[in-house]
A and B are shown apart, each in its own frame.
Chain A
Amino acid sequence: MPAMRPQDILMPVAAGLCCKPGGFHIDPVRPVDRAVITHGHSDHARPGHGAVLATQETLDIMRLRYGDGFAGATQAISYGEEIRLGGVSIKFHPAGHVLGSAQVAVTHGGVRIVASGDYKDVRDPTCTPFEVVPCDVFITEATFGLPVFRHGDAACEVDKLLASVALFPDRAHLVGAYSLGKAQRVIALIREAGYGTPIYLHGAMAKVTQYYQSRGIALGELRPARGMKKADLAGTVTLAPPTAIADLWTRRFPDPVTAFASGWMRLRARARQRGVELPLVISDHADWDGLTRTIAATGAGEIWVTHGQEDALVHWCTTQGLVARPLALVGYGDEDSEEDDAAALGEEGGS
């Protein structure tokens, strides 16, 4: 029997990445019968599917956001666990993006394809580290798929924040961060840097942050910013969704210094456009070096590039002698989607 062609196993359709022989879609953007979901960000994890296969954490996060009836049925799968669907083997591996995030390895007829979802290959104290999965076809995101994106060491960025807090004891520091993942990672890094005083939270982040703590992630003492006297917030650090840091909401803080933790902060225009005074280059996506390093490490001969800066990454792959093509998937990682995500959680949490 001739070897299976990769595109017979997984192919992009309107609803997302479809596995015909297995009868499921990965991170579908429209309701489907059977969905395999990589992680809990709202552009990847949507409600209304018949059955959902995901890690326990991803299922819990979906439940937090959408309520109990977010899917007809759910099945939890652990990292390293393998299950079979219609002759296709599915195995989950950590993606290092946010708590519970996974790469999905799909093997059929001797061909292994890894759909990595969103990932990063650098240290994050709040989730299981990324694992390189050898494969024939590697499906990679390209959110920061340009060689200008080099994120550097997140700990240095947190040092920058704490230096500013020390320099302006009369001002509040507001750190914009995506509600799911980034906020908790920033808090954990602040704690690692030795900052022990309470950290304040925007209401939209309370629920998901409590969930992180319930999974055993130590974040120290956290307090709601709501109800605090303005003067008492001088010299403190507060985390808030990106949309809140440019909002009327900030008026409750004394002369706030606006920081924003994001890979986009590498670009001056992005920071200035948002009125950010203290850009912190901290990303939950792999930077250019991370993307290219990972692609090489998987040993895959064929690379499919999904959302982001596909052109540059596809070009780089071809210069390395790899077969590469962009997957025309829509609905992921549109630059604002993670913010919409925060807004969605914000509505639940209130401010």
Chain B
Amino acid sequence: MNRFAELLDRLAYEPGRNNKLRLITAYFRETPDPDRGYALAALTGALSFKHAKPALVRGLIAARADPVLFALSYDYVGDLSETVALMWPSALMREHDGKPPPPTLTDVVTTLRTLGKAELPAQLARWLDELDEIGRWALLKLVTGAMRIGVSARLAKTAAAALGDKDTHDVELIWPGLAPPYLDLFAWLEGRAEKPVNRIPAPFRPVMLAHAIEDADFARLDASDFTAEWKWDGIRVQAVGGCDEHGNDASRLYSRTGEDITSGFPDLLPSLRLQESSEVTLDDSRKPLRTFRHQAFAIDGELLVVREGRVQSFNVLQQRLNRKTVTPRLMKEFPIHLRAYDLLDDGDNDLRELPFDDRRRRLVDFIAALDDPRIDLSPQVPFATWGELAAARADPAAAGTDADAVEGIMLKRRDAPYLPGRPKGLWWKWKRDPHVIDAVLMYAQRGHGKRSSYYSDYTFGVWTEADGNEQLVPVGKAYFGFTDEELLRIDRFVRRNTTESFGPVRHVVHEPDRGLVLEVAFEGLQRSARHRSGVAMRFPRISRLRWDKPPREADRLETLERMLASAAAARSA
């Protein structure tokens, strides 16, 4: 466990992707099976045990530390695992005094798998006694399922691939068929065994990603080489149909990273069970036998919530995300929908080598034959020149009732094959311009994680007239958008200009001539009964600090009202 903890610790501080890779690969090289396999599982999120709830960890420390000191420490550190790891009373006994050696990662993972809920607290406490600060921190991150160390599953797989000088793509292709502690994978990577075969009947195909397009790029691109589609504000998924060797359905829904999210969307599953029928003539004179087979296919598309024929906002979709199971009520209230934009496999052929135009034609036919209300085709946006496309992007009313769910435009080269990763020049995303207003900082709170002990959560407001007075009314909260350096300056401003504190919230001076103006960018506005201002912003972030601007010159609520009205007008037009 300590070697794994050391790795996590180094990774947490290492900003460079290549150095992270080197650290992980070195760990795989030095660490024996099965520890390294469980480490790979931990880094890729493939470990399955019931995670300890933060309340359990709080309970453990409550039995060992003064509650006031714990509360003050937690408020200061901002991270439960780290606070507990640092505060845990360290047993002074060392190995030679009869202290048991610290657990290995394998001990921890295998024990957690079978441990009863009632035994968990005592076991966790024993391990915490045996580990040092860093070991305790890593253990708590692991058991609470909140690693967040800036390593993606793909990066971990790349590091594993590097161990055997293999391509990440090769590891990703066989990945769905592998399971921790990946003995067969490491044996192959180290040249001791053949490449493991992916026996998953409905495998994930690594996805193709787009680059953000800049104004300057258009000059180099020919509009006739490209097709355009609306960019939907949902989540990217891959729906794969297929059956196992016994003929049972094995359809799967994968996230863009290849995570199996099928269990969260049982309402979509029936739509993925495509059956082909065929007749088998028996040699006697009986009637021919009709057999069914689950058809294989792979659709690349967007997962959305559609109510009464209308795509709902991302906020609504979020109710369905990150759930292992769903209730019938959730499925009824948030009906799930797949909007298809690519076909990677039609059951007979891998289509990824074909040009996009060909795949699109097959997709159109495929979706038509499917004839399922839960799966539809992402429409293309007709255009002849970049100017026409810009106009369509500025006003996506052509997307009809779903215009609100349009996040921008996707551009795809007509002749592009489907390539994993983010190849240059083939797919582009062209997001809508964000809205921007100037608002005044009103309240600040300390952040969590990296931002703990800094005032990094800001509530901001705009001017409005109330009871004959000019007043600031809060319109949103933002946690990011600023650089680390700007954070330091805002933090200092908050500390020096606090007028009152309410628990963790600092009331920051906001008068017409004293205060800080924040330029806030956001993606959209909605009416909201929950906010005093009556509006809610989508995805607000600080785009600039206006130290130069006096608060009295910040925007007014009327400006937001106008934005809402014009958005409504665009919808009804």
Q: Which stretch in A56-64, A67-75, A91-99, A271-279 binds the other chain?
A: A271-279
Q: Which stretch in A22-30, A225-233, A312-320, A341-349 binds the other chain?
A: A312-320
Contacts of A319 in B (CB 8 A): 66
Complex contact B12–A272 (CB within 8 A): yes
How many angstroms from the CA of A275 to the CA of B487 in the assembled complex? Answer: 14
Contacts of A266 in B (CB 8 A): 86
Q: Which of A131-150 contact B (CB under 8 A)?
A: 146-150
Q: Which of A257-288 contact B (CB under 8 A)?
A: 266-273, 275-279
How many angstroms from the CA of A315 to the CA of B454 in the assembled complex? Answer: 23
Q: Which residue of B lies closest to A319 (CB)?
A: B66
Among B72, B452, B454, point to the contact of A146 (Cβ < 8 A).
B72
Interface centre among B66, B68, B86, B452, by most A CB within 10 Å? B86
- Given A147-B65, A269-B78, A269-B453, residue A276 in contact with residue B73 (CB < 8 A): no
Complex contact B69–A269 (CB within 8 A): no
Complex contact A315–B69 (CB within 8 A): yes
How many angstroms from the CA of A152 to the CA of B77 in the assembled complex? Answer: 18
Q: Mark B3-19, 1 if CB is under 8 A from A, else 0.
A: 00000000011110000
Measured CB to CB, the closest approach of chain B to A69, in angstroms, equals: 31
Q: Which of A110-128 contact B (CB under 8 A)?
A: none
How many angstroms from the CA of A319 to the CA of B68 in the assembled complex? Answer: 11
Complex contact B14–A272 (CB within 8 A): no
Complex contact B13–A278 (CB within 8 A): yes
Complex contact A316–B77 (CB within 8 A): no
Complex contact B15–A277 (CB within 8 A): yes
How many angstroms from the CA of A278 to the CA of B449 in the assembled complex? Answer: 18
Measured CB to CB, the closest approach of chain B to A314, in angstroms, equals: 10
Is B260 among interface residues, defined by CB-CB distance under 8 A? no
How many angstroms from the CA of A268 to the CA of B454 in the assembled complex? Answer: 13
Among B12, B66, B82, B487, point to the contact of A315 (Cβ < 8 A).
B66
Among A270, A276, A316, A336, point to the contact of B453 (Cβ < 8 A).
A270
- Given A146-B72, A311-B72, A315-B66, residue A277 in contact with residue B13 (CB < 8 A): yes
Contacts of A276 in B (CB 8 A): 13
Contacts of B453 in A (CB 8 A): 267, 269-270
Is B246 among interface residues, defined by CB-CB distance under 8 A? no
Contacts of B65 in A (CB 8 A): 147
Is A309 among interface residues, defined by CB-CB distance under 8 A? yes
How many angstroms from the CA of A316 to the CA of B87 in the assembled complex? Answer: 14
Complex contact A268–B73 (CB within 8 A): no
How many angstroms from the CA of A46 to the CA of B424 in the assembled complex? Answer: 59
How many angstroms from the CA of A60 to the CA of B79 in the assembled complex? Answer: 43
- Given A148-B83, A316-B66, residue A275 in contact with residue B451 (CB < 8 A): no
Complex contact B76–A272 (CB within 8 A): no
Q: Which residue of A lies closest to B449 (CB)?
A: A269
How many angstroms from the CA of A269 to the CA of B452 in the assembled complex? Answer: 6
Complex contact A146–B69 (CB within 8 A): yes
How many angstroms from the CA of A270 to the CA of B452 in the assembled complex? Answer: 8
Contacts of B95 in A (CB 8 A): none
Is B30 among interface residues, defined by CB-CB distance under 8 A? no
How many angstroms from the CA of A271 to the CA of B484 in the assembled complex? Answer: 12
Contacts of A150 in B (CB 8 A): 86, 133
Contacts of B492 in A (CB 8 A): 336
Contacts of B117 in A (CB 8 A): none
Complex contact A268–B82 (CB within 8 A): yes
- Given A267-B452, A267-B453, A269-B452, residue A312 in contact with residue B82 (CB < 8 A): no
Complex contact A309–B454 (CB within 8 A): no
Contacts of A268 in B (CB 8 A): 12-13, 79, 82, 450
Q: Mark B465-489, 1 if CB is under 8 A from A, else 0.
A: 0000000000000000000100100
Q: Which residue of A lies closest to B78 (CB)?
A: A269
- Number of A-B residue pairs, CB cutoff 8 Å, is 71
Contacts of B450 in A (CB 8 A): 268-269, 272-273
How many angstroms from the CA of A336 to the CA of B491 in the assembled complex? Answer: 12
Contacts of A269 in B (CB 8 A): 77-79, 449-454
How many angstroms from the CA of A146 to the CA of B78 in the assembled complex? Answer: 13
How many angstroms from the CA of A344 to the CA of B387 in the assembled complex? Answer: 57
Complex contact B86–A316 (CB within 8 A): no
How many angstroms from the CA of A231 to the CA of B83 in the assembled complex? Answer: 42
Q: Which residue of A lies closest to B12 (CB)?
A: A268
How many angstroms from the CA of A304 to the CA of B73 in the assembled complex? Answer: 20
Among A147, A275, A278, A279, point to the contact of B73 (Cβ < 8 A).
A147
Contacts of A146 in B (CB 8 A): 69, 72-73, 76
- Given A146-B69, A147-B65, residue A273 in contact with residue B454 (CB < 8 A): yes
Complex contact A148–B454 (CB within 8 A): no
Measured CB to CB, the closest approach of chain A to B490, in angstroms, equals: 13
Contacts of B66 in A (CB 8 A): 315-316, 319
Contacts of A147 in B (CB 8 A): 65, 69, 73, 86-87
Among A148, A267, A271, A336, point to the contact of B13 (Cβ < 8 A).
A271
Measured CB to CB, the closest approach of chain A to B218, in angstroms, equals: 35
How many angstroms from the CA of A303 to the CA of B292 in the assembled complex? Answer: 83
- Given A148-B87, A267-B82, A269-B450, residue A275 in contact with residue B72 (CB < 8 A): no
Complex contact A272–B69 (CB within 8 A): no
How many angstroms from the CA of A311 to the CA of B86 in the assembled complex? Answer: 19
Measured CB to CB, the closest approach of chain B to A209, in angstroms, equals: 28
How many angstroms from the CA of A271 to the CA of B77 in the assembled complex? Answer: 12
How many angstroms from the CA of A253 to the CA of B13 in the assembled complex? Answer: 20
Contacts of A275 in B (CB 8 A): 15, 484
Contacts of B484 in A (CB 8 A): 273, 275
Q: Which residue of B lies closest to A318 (CB)?
A: B68
- Given A269-B79, A269-B449, A269-B452, residue A315 in contact with residue B68 (CB < 8 A): yes
Contacts of A311 in B (CB 8 A): 72
- Given A148-B76, A273-B450, residue A279 in contact with residue B69 (CB < 8 A): no
Measured CB to CB, the closest approach of chain B to A252, in angstroms, equals: 20
Measured CB to CB, the closest approach of chain A to B20, in angstroms, equals: 11
Complex contact B15–A148 (CB within 8 A): no
How many angstroms from the CA of A269 to the CA of B15 in the assembled complex? Answer: 14
Contacts of B86 in A (CB 8 A): 147-150, 266
How many angstroms from the CA of A267 to the CA of B65 in the assembled complex? Answer: 19
Contacts of B72 in A (CB 8 A): 146, 309, 311-312, 315
Measured CB to CB, the closest approach of chain B to A342, in angstroms, equals: 16
Measured CB to CB, the closest approach of chain B to A260, in angstroms, equals: 11
A-B pairs with lowest CB-CB distance, top 10: A148-B86, A269-B452, A312-B72, A148-B73, A146-B73, A315-B68, A147-B87, A277-B13, A272-B450, A147-B69
A–B Cβ pairs within 8 angstroms, 18 of them: A147-B65, A147-B87, A148-B82, A150-B86, A266-B86, A268-B13, A268-B79, A269-B79, A269-B450, A270-B453, A275-B15, A276-B13, A278-B13, A309-B72, A312-B73, A315-B66, A316-B69, A336-B492
Residue ranges of B at the interface with A (Cβ–Cβ < 8 Å): 12-15, 65-66, 68-69, 72-73, 76-79, 82-83, 86-87, 133, 449-454, 484, 487, 492
Known A147-B86, A148-B87, A275-B484; further 11 A-B contacts with Cβ < 8 A: A148-B73, A148-B86, A269-B451, A272-B12, A273-B450, A276-B13, A277-B15, A312-B68, A315-B66, A316-B66, A316-B69
